[in-house]
Amino acid sequence: MPDAGTAIMRADVAVVGAGPAGIAAAVTAAGAGRTVVVLDASPHPGGQVWRHRDRRSLPAVARRWLNRLDRSGAQVLCGAQVVDAGPGTRIGAEYQGRALTVEAQAVILATGAQELLLPFPGWTHPGVVGVGGAQALLKAGMDVRGKRMAVAGTGPLLLPVAAALARAGADLRMVAEQAPAEEVRRFAASLWRTPRRLLQAAAYRASFLSVRYRWGTWVKRVAELDGELIVTYTTGRSSWAEPVDLLCTASGLVPSTELARLIGCAVRAGQVVVDDRQETSVASVYAAGEPTGNTGMEAALVEGSIAGLAVAGRGGGEAGKLLAERDAHRRLAARVAQAFRLHPELRDRVEPDTIVCRCEDVPMSAIHPGWSARQSKLATRAGMGSCQGRTCGAALEHLFGMTRDTVRIPVAPTSIGVLADLASQPDESQGAS
């Protein structure tokens, strides 16, 4: 059993999340002489975009930043699940089965994004995964060779994941983009200002040239029959069914804002509000990367660097240049969001008996679309399960504009012992600092 008492660590800066934003923040702040602790729930740093088993398999930019992190002097705690934050810059975590409190002068929230998983009939069957989930599992060693797979939905993750699955040997049967052909073409045409991205898209498509790629097509329902998933596709006019082993659905990404909301940072339109130094509405609490808007890896590196400079009290020329880069990324992200916006047809897929809250098995019929998330929670337990409404809360917000409920600790399940230790008076004699 874990020892009693919470370990306590002190640092100038606590960074939550070791994806590109967190890495850039940690490297920059440590480079400016600050002591830095980085906490990440995964076994390795890199976040979702740089998830890896063998660092040599990563692109050069990822290896470069991970090597910088190694040399930065920042203390990186992988497998540390943050369960509590605040008041202010205090972070509570479960690390190696024990409670860990980090007392910092500044906190940088680089908590990334999560997939928006929208309910539709049959989405709870094993084998129906998020497209980002498929990519994460693939990077973690899932063997897809010969597996019949389909990738369907919308958004910029669709093509890269389809390409990665095809390269890994999946028997990719269908790539279905919900956006109509005209919108995808208009978006592609708008990329003339960023030709590198156009080339990237063409390269992805080349990886699965023999696979059907349909626009204006989406998944209406999935049934399970003798271990096979029977996927019903529709164009709105005609529908047909095909069997697969694994269905990857994409509805886009949503910023992970639980910790920011728990601390009390202002969140607008699902995004943590930050100023030109990446500081949130709470003093000394910063946010960088996806929590401030789904702008992608390059923007995350820029925002992390800005935050790292800010916590070190460095502004000036370098920060100004980064700020211009950040705003360029934001403009591109706005165009992506417009091209791949969710169509109302995806909302209409939900049927009365469709499970909406997967943790508590709450069907759509039990929830009134006009309720707030708090009302639906009290009436149905939706959002009270292990995921703390991360999945159904984001879905209901997107489907019905339902406002998210306040965040409560623990933001991830942990043992009573860890919670009690975090709440108790820290025993500094046990701590590392």
Partner 1 sequence: MTPTVRIFVNGAPRDVPSDVSLAAALLNAGHAAFRRSVGGEPRGPVCGMGTCFECRVTIDGVTGRRACLEKTREGMQVTLDA
Under the rule (CB under 8 A), what is the footprint of partner 1? 41-43, 48, 51, 53-54, 79, 114-115, 117, 124-130, 132-137, 140-143, 227, 256, 355, 358-361, 385-387, 390-391, 412-413
Question: Minimum distance between the CB of residue 56 and partner 1, rounded to whole angstroms?
Answer: 12
Residue 13 CB, nearest distance to partner 1 (Å)? 23
Q: Three-state SS for 340? A: coil
Q: Measure the CA dihedral 300/301/303/306, to 10°.
A: 170
Quick one: 39 or 312, whose CB is closer to partner 1?
39
Q: How many CB atoms lie within 10 A of CB 212?
A: 12
Q: What are the structure tokens assigned to 86, written together?
A: 């605040």
Helix axes 60-71, 20-31, angle to 10 degrees: 40
Q: Minimal distance in Å, beta carbon 388 to partner 1?
A: 9
- Residue placing its CB nearer to partner 1 in the complex, 136 or 328: 136
Please confirm whether the linkage preceding 410 is cis (ω < 30° from 0): yes
Return d(Cα 384, Cα 350) in angstroms, integer: 21
Residue 154 or 256 having the CB closest to partner 1 = 256
Across 100-126, b (16+ Cβ under 10 Å) vs e yields bbbbbebbbbbbbbbbbbbbbbbbeee
Distance in Å, CB of 43 to partner 1, minimum: 5
CB of residue 322 to partner 1, shortest distance in Å: 27
**Residue 116 contacts residue 252 (beta carbons within 8 Å):** yes
- The H-or-E segment that residue 347 falls in is helix 344-347
Residue closer to partner 1, measured from CB, 104 or 138? 138
3-state secondary structure of 213: strand
Q: Which is nearer to partner 1, 57 or 67 (CB)?
A: 57
Neighbours of 211 (CB within 10 A): 20
CA dihedral sign, ordered 299, 305, 307, 309:
negative
- SS3 for 281? coil
Q: Which is nearer to partner 1, 136 or 201 (CB)?
A: 136
Nearer to partner 1, 6 or 135 (CB): 135
- Residue of 17, 20, 60, 47 whose CA lies nearest to 306: 20
Mind spelling out the 3-state secondary structure of 247-260?
A: EEEECCEEECCHHH
Shortest reach from residue 61's CB to partner 1, in Å: 21
Query: Is the Cβ of residue 88 or residue 127 nearer to partner 1 in the bound state?
Result: 127
CB of 407 to partner 1, least distance (A): 14
Q: How far is the CB of 104 from partner 1 (least distance, A)?
A: 23
Least spacing, CB of residue 142 vs partner 1, in Å: 4
Which helix H or strand E contains 165, and what residues bound it? helix 158-167
Would you say 117 and 130 are in contact if contact means Cβ atoms under 8 Å apart? Answer: yes
Identify the DSSP state of 404.
P
Q: Which is nearer to partner 1, 216 or 389 (CB)?
A: 389
